[in-house]
Amino acid sequence: MKEKNRRWAFLADPEDFGWNELVEQGKAVWDGINNAKAQQNLREARDGDLILIYHTAPDKAIIGTARVIAEAYPDPKNADKVVVDVEPVTALSRRLPLAEIKEDAVLSQMSFVKMPRVAVQPITVEQWERVMQKSGTDLGKSVGVDGGGP
């Protein structure tokens, strides 16, 4: 993995399209993002960037990790919007619920905790690593590398 890869939190409605559907399909067009800030963030996502998949209600938990496999391009359903293609990397060993995220000094600073309506938000390497630590997920697996870290 290249160090320059950024990390993101993508919020998903599990009743519409979530982690299970992403895993089942093997890759997906990440669409349906309407918020202007989230659209701006999608435009900044690059091939290889890493993603935490966070399920909104009713789950309210980080579920797994994914990767951007195609940078922003016009949404075929709405030319005013962009989409990216993503693929799953790994499920977390243990889902990390919002209540636990809010109690952690590092994770409570993730922007989606404060602005839950923005469905695509950047996160830091420190936040990524803390999610892996708290969920008991191997850091190498979280980025798609067996037996090692980023």
pLDDT digits over 67-101, tens only? 999 999 999 999 999 999 999 999 999 999 999 99
Query: Residue 146's pLDDT band (boundaries 50, 70, 90)?
Result: low
Q: Above 70 in pLDDT, residue 150?
A: no
- How large is the average pLDDT for residues 110-131? 94
Q: What domain range is 75 assigned to? A: 7-142
pLDDT greater than 60 at residue 1: no
Tell me the CATH number at 42: 3.10.590.10
Give domain status of residue 147, yes or no: no
- 150 within domain boundaries: no
Domain presence at residue 66: yes
Which pLDDT score, from 0 to 100, does residue 148 have?
A: 44
DSSP three-state, residue 144: coil
Distance between CA atoms of residues 85 and 33, nearest Å = 13
Tell if the pTM clears 0.85, that is, is over it.
yes
Q: What is the pLDDT of residues 55-68, one digit of tens each?
A: 999 999 999 999 99
The span from the CA of 42 to the CA of 136, in Å, is 28
Q: What letter represents residue 18's amino acid?
A: G
In a domain, 79, yes or no: yes
Tokens 């950024």 belong to which residue?
A: 6
| Count of Cβ atoms closer than 10 Å to residue 10 Cβ | 23
